[in-house]
Amino acid sequence: MITKLWPAVFFGKIHNNVLVHNIMPIKFALLDFKWYIFFILLCHFYLSKRYLEKKNYTIKEIAKLAEVSRGTVDRILHQRGNVSEKARQKVEGILKRIDYSPNIIARSLKANKRSRIVAILPSNEKDNYWNQSINGILEAAKKANEFNVTIEIKKYDIANVDLFSHLIDKLLENPPNGILLAPLFYHESLDFLAKCIAAKIPYVLFNTHIEDSQSLCFIGQDLFASGRVSADLLNRIKIPGKKMLIIHFDEDPAIANHLKEKEIGFRQYFKEKGEKAELQTMRLSSKQGNHVEEKIAEIFAHDDLGGIYVSTSKAHVIADYLKRNSLHHIPLIGYDLIDQNIRFLKSGEINFLINQNPKRQTYLGISYLSDFLVFGKKIDRTNLLPLDIITVENLAFYL
């Protein structure tokens, strides 16, 4: 009976005449009761909302709860200065208990603080591999700009170490708040990073790793492993009994550490496998103009090539020669999904490409630096991206 009466009490919608007649007095008698229930529910909703709202604790309140000084709390929150382990445990215990999370965004924007990040990388005029790196920077810059972080791009010529040195010296005359660097010139980069450390400028490295560089983070690939993977691939498809050629384009492995690491990994693979393979290294430069074609012709003058490994994104230069001279049978491995390489991968002159994902590298680099400068977020020291092996069969998934 109660379950039948309840809807009528609140809504008065029972269509049986007898029931309606019996409950009408109840409806009027319980009118005050309906408002009482509504009031109780309203109070419950209001108090629950107040209870669930998170209190914004001040440093003073946290210090009082942890029974330490405000200065101690400030040093722990901003990760600066020396604090005793006992005090740290007390403060961190309180922070965990109150689920403390400072409103850093509001604090930063209120202070109208602006941060400036400079990205330093090779020019994309001679090698459009770096177009993808620039695209990653520009994409991350849109997000960073929302938090008052501006991004500048500085380019250098990978064939001119003096211009690189001049660029970085000029940069330190007006030091930025953070730096993203592709350190292709090893020794010069080390000197520059030492100056950044002295000036307390945080930096992130991408593309090329420098051991003990004290960078916030390195984003890229394991270049030694990259060389080994390339060797493994070429070993599977090489022409038996013939030599294999390692070609470096434009950059000198003596000063370009990323090429050196790849070649070391490549050679180490065959050494460990006990493979009796003749390995030869050659350096080609775009500055040689027509002489590049002559040098490539010299490579193929003798029918003794069992496979070619190009350590940069310039595999398409060799692939073009193979296609024009009907040398499709010689295996070729290179790097990066630039348009020219994709075209020769599809037509069969390039067998494999290893994707270094330059856009992802710079996007993460700018994002990590922005998070560090604005939010004080900790960054993992190393972020190694996977060594994606691209063939004509899986190419579509990467485009």
Tell me how far apart the alpha carbons of residues 248 and 255 are, in angstroms, rounded to a whole number: 12
3-state secondary structure of 74: helix
Q: Which long-range contacts (CB under 8 A, 24 or more apart) does 98-105 make?
A: 98/55, 98/57, 98/62, 98/65, 99/54, 100/57, 100/62, 102/77, 103/56, 104/374, 104/375, 104/376, 105/147, 105/374, 105/375
3-state secondary structure of 53: coil
Backbone angles phi, psi at 249, to 5 degrees: -100, 130
| Token pair listed for 67 | 């029974």
Q: Exposed, middle or buried: residue 96 (CB in 10 Å: 0-12, 13-18, 19+)?
A: exposed
Tell me how far apart the alpha carbons of residues 138 and 351 are, in angstroms, rounded to a whole number: 32
Please give the domain boundaries of the chain with CATH numbers for all domains.
2-52 (no CATH), 59-103 (1.10.260.40), 115-221+363-380 (3.40.50.2300), 223-355 (3.40.50.2300)
- pLDDT tens-place values along the chain, 399 residues long: 444 444 444 444 444 444 444 444 544 444 566 666 666 766 655 555 444 445 667 778 888 888 888 888 877 776 666 778 888 888 888 888 877 765 554 555 544 578 999 999 999 887 888 999 999 999 999 988 888 899 999 999 888 889 999 999 999 999 999 999 999 888 899 999 999 999 999 999 999 888 877 899 999 999 999 999 999 999 999 998 889 999 998 776 666 778 889 999 999 999 998 877 789 998 887 766 667 788 888 888 877 889 999 999 999 999 999 999 998 899 999 999 999 999 999 999 999 999 999 999 999 999 999 999 988 888 888 899 999 999 999 999 998
Cα–Cα nearest to 65, from 91, 100, 96, 102:
91
Cα–Cα nearest to 282, from 312, 242, 260, 249:
249
Q: Please say whether the dihedral angle defined by the alpha carbons of residues 219, 398, 319 and 338, taken in this order, is positive or negative.
A: negative
> What is the pTM for the complete model shown?
0.69
